[in-house]
Amino acid sequence: MESRTLDDFTRERKLITSTRFWSMHQVAHLDIKPDNLVYHPDTFQLQIINFDVAVLLANHDQKISGCRGTEGWMAPEVKSGKPFNPFLADRYSCGLVIEKVVLTASNADRVNGRAQIYHASQLHSFAVRLTAEKPGRRPPLKLARNLGLGT
């Protein structure tokens, strides 16, 4: 059983909440990655920064074209050159970031031999679903509520 810290849980919850907030306001970031996340340790506020390639859309069904984002953090469909749904691409990137944090925290816990508060299997499973190859199989971020994450 993998265990995690409360700080890891807080960061992931806030990442999901922030990504969902922007999506609800028709904004797709298109460059979600650890370098574009700022976490203030005193206020526990996570902010997504660098909206240089973000788009404001009329609705959630709208598709766009063009390669946007950072190699290694982009959804497969973004690199395809075909029109894609940017909100589904953001879900993919969000899942990648969560997977990286989960795996990093789990490895650190094993190396340091620390027992932490809770296990990450459900969160990791959700992140894997967010990184589904087919965009239509990526779950809505609101389903994170079932894991006690997000809003």
User: What was the pLDDT predicted at 25?
Assistant: 97
Answer yes or no: are the C-beta atoms of 16 and 130 closer than 8 Å: no
User: What was the pLDDT predicted at 41?
Assistant: 74
User: What was the pLDDT predicted at 108?
Assistant: 53
Sign of CA dihedral 58, 63, 68, 72: positive
CB neighbour class for 126 (10 Å; exposed up to 12, middle 13-18, buried from 19):
buried
Answer yes or no: are the C-beta atoms of 64 and 42 closer than 8 Å: no
User: What was the pLDDT predicted at 38?
Assistant: 87
What is the distance between the alpha carbons of residues 132 and 150, in angstroms, rounded to a whole number?
A: 20
User: What was the pLDDT predicted at 6?
Assistant: 46
- All structural domains of the chain, each given as residue ranges with its CATH number in brackets, are 3-147 (1.10.510.10)
Output the tens digit of pLDDT for each of the chain's 151 residues. 344 454 555 667 788 889 999 999 999 999 999 999 987 778 777 889 999 999 999 999 999 999 999 999 999 999 998 999 999 999 999 999 988 876 665 555 554 444 343 446 778 889 999 999 999 999 999 988 776 655 4
- Residue 151, Cβ neighbours under 10 Å: how many? 12
Kind of pairing, strands 37-40 and 45-48?
A: antiparallel
